[in-house]
Chain A
Amino acid sequence: MSPLLIALLGALLIPLFVGRWRMSLFGLALQGLILAAIAYPELGPLRSAQAWLTLADLGLVRGVLVPLALYTVLRAQGAPSRNDTVAPNLFSWTLALGMVLAAFNLSDILVSAPGQEQTLVAISVAGVLLGFLVLASATGPLSQMVGALRIENAIAILQLSGSHESSFALELALLAVFVATVALFRWYLASLESQPTAPSELESAPDSLTL
């Protein structure tokens, strides 16, 4: 396993054991940047627009813009630094490690030849399973977003692991949908975390004023 793949696995796992939102976002950023570093030699000389788009998607959008978008909201809200994405106990941690082992076993079935492709598939499956673990454990919107974004990154890892039929326009549309999703996530993070909790403010608007 190459150092980059080891680092990618670390970026998936380590933030789970550190219950800080900064660490969760740093983990997401690291995943994007490492994916860009893995993709760079595969894309060859950067002559095609599609190669540039893939690099921008992984390195710029997933590695920088997405974590930054969530970071600015949390910073502005003065969110408490503690934020457990999974329950901080031995059971959750064992479950997380067990999922990684299961992912490597599954990748042996999916890709018979050992090598980078097999490891990338294993890390992608681990990313999906850990994303679901985060979603199942999370109660707050931030952790739920982190879980969903982990799954999105796992999809990007699987795309990277093999060739697939695509065009520049389709890749651009997929990226635009991803950016729009994250923009909505950001808006919900800002509005849900700042929602009023006083009973008087929780009362419904009159339904006669609803379409």
Chain B
Amino acid sequence: MNPLALVLVPTVLSFGLALRRVREQARLLLVAAAVVGSVLAFSHAMMSSRELWLWGYVRLDATSRLFVALINPIFLGVSWYVAVRLTATPALHSGFGRFAGLALTFLGAANAAVLGNHLIVQWIALEITTLVAAPLIIRPGVVRSRAASWHYLLFSSVGLGLVLLGFLCLGRGLQAAGHAPSYFIDQLAALKPTGAGPWGNLGLSLVLLGLGTKLGLAPMYTWLPDAYDEAPPAVSALLGAVQFNAVLVLLLRVLQVYRPINPSLVTGELLILGLASMVISAASIIATWNMKRLIAYAAINHAGVIAIGLALGKGAAYGVLIYVISNAFIKAILFLTAGKIKAHYRTEDTREISGLIKDLPYSGIFLLVGTLALLGFPPFGSFFGELLILSALVSFGHLYVFAAFCVVITITFVATGRTFFPMIWGLPKKVHNWPRQTFLAISPKAGFFVILVVLGLYIPPALSGLLERVAASLEGP
């Protein structure tokens, strides 16, 4: 099966939603496309086939196999959540066709970004995910969400602009070194460009800074808490767990082919961006009492941990990948749960919410598990990922970074626990007697929960093999 189906199926269906008769079946179409996407993604991840497709523009290697198998099931979970919400709340039907159309285009573009074998094609696909996600952030009648959506679009445009500028500089660097300029990843990997020169150094710095902006790394991170907080929970989950990983794939591709031209620049810039993001997120977590903003700041912290892990390359790569997978499911669980809690309590102020474990037992359990995984408790993947990254920091002699990492992560741990644990265990302020949630309603979060726990306890050999191959591709020469 041609992997291009992962791009074409959702994109064609999204165009189909322009027809009224098709729009009436938007919910079914959204879930069906997500199911097809997940089945295709798993079949591509498990079965070996040729690597290059569509004149070399599409590449099915370990990296793309791993990430299509990660983002498509998350999209399926979010689609299922949305479909159940729609059944429970018929008022949401108006404008749902638009949501489904944009979400399907988003999925098609995210798959294109993951499968692309050409840096500019991947860049275009990421731009499309941004352009369709911006309107999704807006909640009807909420002015703040419009402003948050604008900030998201502005920062994304500038960040991706820097990435494109960086690619052009890297192309000029190749020319200056006597090579033909190319943006095909397999050709660049075969070329093994070395020796940066001023164009290479400038290009690499700009690309890392630009992708850092899209990942929510400091210094250009301010769009992230606004966008994640104001967006509907399903959209926050899509941004945090799907788009984040599509951007991450482009970063992995850049590291796979361009790290050798100046390894110390890559390590230095990623360490600084990562550590600065962790410090900023810790300070922000201490200062906020807003539930969704806190999860957003924790997402910045996670992006910082991933950047530090990627800076190290060898040794940390496997840990980073385990952390990335775990992080995607944590964010999906927490954002969807936060949406449920906010819809019931009509507030995001964590001081106004307590006794969730009695009041909304399922949401309480999901928040508890999500928080424990967020904080890096065993047996979750985030624990093993952080452990491997910390061990690599020590073995590569980055002891100051190791010390700072430990201090910041401890502060984050205490600040997050101080806010979330009273929400879960505290005495209920009022007796609400909410109607009991059906299994159908909790099934997407339960699915993410099961995957999160299982992957923490046991990594199947097929997945472990895939992770090892992606880690090896990141190690560089």
By a beta-carbon cutoff of 8 Å, the part of chain A in contact with chain B is 109-110, 128, 135, 141, 144-145, 147-148, 151-152, 154-155, 158-159, 162-166, 170, 173-174, 177, 180-181, 184-185, 188, 191-192, 195-196, 201-202, 204-211
Contacts and interface: CB of A to CB of B under 8 A. Distances in A.
A211 B107 CA distance: 17
A170 B183 CA distance: 12
Given A135-B158, A192-B147, A210-B343, A162 B175 contact: yes
B199 interface: yes
Q: DSSP class of B's interface residues: helix, strand, loop or mixed?
A: helix
17 contacts: A110-B199, A110-B202, A141-B150, A144-B154, A158-B169, A170-B120, A181-B127, A184-B131, A188-B146, A188-B150, A191-B146, A196-B143, A204-B142, A205-B140, A205-B142, A208-B89, A208-B343
Interface stretch (B231-239, B274-282, B294-302): B231-239
A158 B202 contact: no
Given A181-B127, A184-B134, 13 more contacts: A110-B202, A144-B154, A148-B154, A154-B165, A164-B172, A166-B120, A180-B131, A188-B150, A192-B146, A192-B150, A205-B141, A211-B85, A211-B86
A190 to B, nearest CB: 11
Interface of B: 82, 85-86, 89, 91-92, 96, 99, 120-121, 124, 127-128, 131, 134-135, 139-144, 146-147, 149-150, 153-154, 157-158, 161-162, 164-165, 168-169, 171-172, 175, 180-183, 198-199, 202, 232-235, 339, 342-344, 346
A170 B199 CA distance: 23
A210 B168 contact: no
A155 B165 contact: yes
A204 B198 CA distance: 50
A211 B234 contact: yes
A210 B128 contact: no
Contacts of B232: 210-211
B168 A158 contact: yes
A210 B157 contact: no
A184 B142 CA distance: 18
Contacts of B135: 184
B139 A210 contact: yes
A165 B171 contact: yes
Contacts of A148: 154, 157-158, 161
Nearest to B131: A180
A116 to B, nearest CB: 15
B158 A207 contact: no
B120 A195 contact: no
B150 A205 contact: no
Contacts of A154: 165
